[in-house]
Amino acid sequence: MRKWTSFPLKEGDVSRQAHADFPDSAIYEREAGRSGFFGPATHFHHRHAPTGWTDWQGPLRPRLFDFNNLTDNAGHSPWSVPNLLFNAHCKMRTWRISDRMERLARNADGDELLFIHEGSADLFCDYGHLEIRDGDYVVIPRSTMWRLEPKSDMTILMIEATNDSYQLPDKGLVGNHAIFDPAMLDTPKINEAFQAQYSEQSWQVEVKRHGQVSTITYPYNPLDAVGWHGDLTVMRINWRDIRPLMSHRYHLPPSAHSTFVAQRFVVCTFVPRPIESDPGALKVPFYHDNVDYDEVLFYHAGDFFSRDNIEKGMVTFHPAGFTHGPHPKAFAAGREYKKKFTDEVAVMLDTRDALEISEAAFTTENADYVNSWKAKP
């Protein structure tokens, strides 16, 4: 067993409460913490913005990708599109699909999380039929057979929990029904739509294992269950069903918005909420050091209030090793309390292990993103 060294200290001119009531001499707060936002932390107060660099050289840097510009992420199979950001425990891809899948998919490498960025579809799987739409998260347990019949063109964010599973976060003091009640989770039904797809015609299943795809042929449709019982199934929740934790006096860390948790990463959802109203409270995300986690944000909709010039379908990647936080314009607007409500929707992926960037992702990078924190003359 290990235990963090813990002896709270203070030095110089400081606030007693993190993220609030900063000293007049230093309005820029920086959090240096371990284990994401769950471990020990120190809060520094600076005279200048911690992101006020004038030059940046080397491979470690904040990155911006426009996944709308990908050219090889369309097709009938989710296994035909490339990984974009990945490590041994997590794979992120985007997938565009317009026509019905002619084969079933099965991921034997880990649970799959689909976030429906655009479009809608009928999903058929081992457990039955489920209608899905934009804004839905769909958790597909490892080795589940499934397919989609799109009702409109779809763009899907896919996050694989490699050799792992998705679970719900521990909601602690706020209780099991906060953020979203588990009763809000929808599951597939063996309904008329599912029964109508029973077939004695030949069907094939594409099984992904160790990143390689094998094809199994059946003389019938293997989605032929007539019933099931248990507590393992496909489940769906829409971001519109999420009721975010809020505090009018304190800016909550991203971990307060956790939606799904794996062993080596967490998926969070930022949804519209009131901005902190207390005069002394920080009203934008605080500057913080990425000490142990890589941070990825997929922008789904709205105006992300701590960033400039971000459009839906774009992705920011802030690897561990440097301080990041709001852009200068956003920080100034927060100080002036111009906005009273956020209207952003974004999916955050925080990984304990360093992510690699694929060649496909690099083709969409805006290399000037590192300069977006520079103060404008």
Lowest mean pLDDT among 143-147, 304-308, 366-370: 304-308
181 and 205 share one domain:
yes
Give the model's pLDDT for residue 376.
62
Per-residue pLDDT for 116 more than 90?
A: yes
pLDDT band at 48 (very low <50, low <70, confident <90, very high): confident
pLDDT of residue 305: 63
User: What is the structure's pLDDT at 369?
Assistant: 93
Sign of CA dihedral 131, 133, 139, 144: positive
Residue 19 lies in a domain: no
Average pLDDT over residues 358-367: 96
Model pLDDT, residue 255 = 85
Residue 263 above 90 pLDDT?
A: yes
Higher-confidence residue: 335 or 67? 67
Q: Binning pLDDT at 50, 70 and 90, where does residue 377 land?
A: low
34-43, 74-83, 133-142: which range is least confident on average? 34-43
Same domain, 174 and 259: no
In a domain, 4, yes or no: no
User: What pLDDT does 134 receive?
Assistant: 98
Q: What is the pLDDT of residue 22?
A: 79
Q: Which of 179, 212, 239 is the last residue of a domain?
A: 239
What local confidence, expressed as pLDDT, does residue 339 receive?
A: 81
pLDDT confidence of residue 306? 60
> 175: burial class by Cβ within 10 Å (0-12, 13-18, 19+)?
exposed
The range of the structural domain enclosing residue 90 comes to 73-239
Nearest CA to 19 among 272, 295, 285? Answer: 285
Cα gap 95→84, rounded to integer Å? 11
Are 205 and 330 found together in one domain?
A: no
Cα gap 360→241, rounded to integer Å: 33
Q: Can you give the CATH number for the domain in which 182 is found?
A: 2.60.120.10
- The percentage of residues in the chain with a pLDDT greater than 90, rounded to a whole number, is 66
pLDDT tens for residues 210-219? 999 999 999 9
- Based on the fold, state whether residues 82 and 130 are members of the same structural domain: yes
Phi, psi of 308 (to 5 degrees): -105, 145
pTM beyond 0.85: the answer is yes
SS3 147: strand
Residues 369 and 356 reside in one and the same domain: yes
Domain contains 22: no
Averaged pLDDT of the chain: 91
Q: Is residue 163 located within the same domain as residue 117?
A: yes
Q: Any binding-site annotation on 324?
A: yes
**Pair (80, 191) in one structural domain:** yes
pLDDT tens string 165-211: 999 999 988 999 999 999 999 999 999 999 999 999 999 999 999 99
End-of-domain residue from the set 239, 256, 276: 239
**97 part of a folded domain:** yes
pLDDT at 272 over 70: yes
147 and 289: one domain?
A: no
* pLDDT band, very low/low/confident/very high, at 28 (cuts 50, 70, 90): confident
What pLDDT, on a 0 to 100 scale, did the predictor assign at position 85?
A: 98
Q: Which residues are catalytic?
A: 251
Same structural domain, 115 and 230? yes
Mean pLDDT over residues 142-171, rounded?
97
Please give the residue that has the higher pLDDT: either 346 or 278: 346
pLDDT in tens, 247-257: 898 888 888 89
294 is in an annotated binding site: yes
pLDDT of 18 > 80? The answer is: no
Domain boundary among 213, 239, 265: 239
Does some domain include residue 319? Answer: yes
Do both 93 and 124 map to the same domain? Answer: yes
Give the per-residue pLDDT at 242: 96
Report CA 106 to chain centroid distance, whole Å. Answer: 22
Question: What mean pLDDT do residues 110-138 have?
Answer: 98
Dump pLDDT digits (tens) for 299-323.
999 987 666 678 999 999 999 988 8
Query: Are 249 and 107 members of one domain?
Result: no
C-alpha 230 chain-centroid distance: 28
Both 272 and 129 in a single domain?
A: no
pLDDT of 49 higher than 60: yes
pLDDT of residue 25: 67
In a domain, 115, yes or no: yes
- From the list 288, 300, 302, 292, the residue with the least C-alpha distance to 344 is 302
Q: How many domains does the chain have?
A: 2
Q: Is 48 assigned to a binding site?
A: no
pLDDT digits (tens, 9 = 90+) for 283-298: 788 888 878 899 999 9
Q: Residue 257 has what DSSP assignment?
A: G
What integer is the mean pLDDT of 21-50?
Answer: 80
| Residue 14 domain flag | no
In a domain, 172, yes or no: yes
Tokens of 181: 């009640």
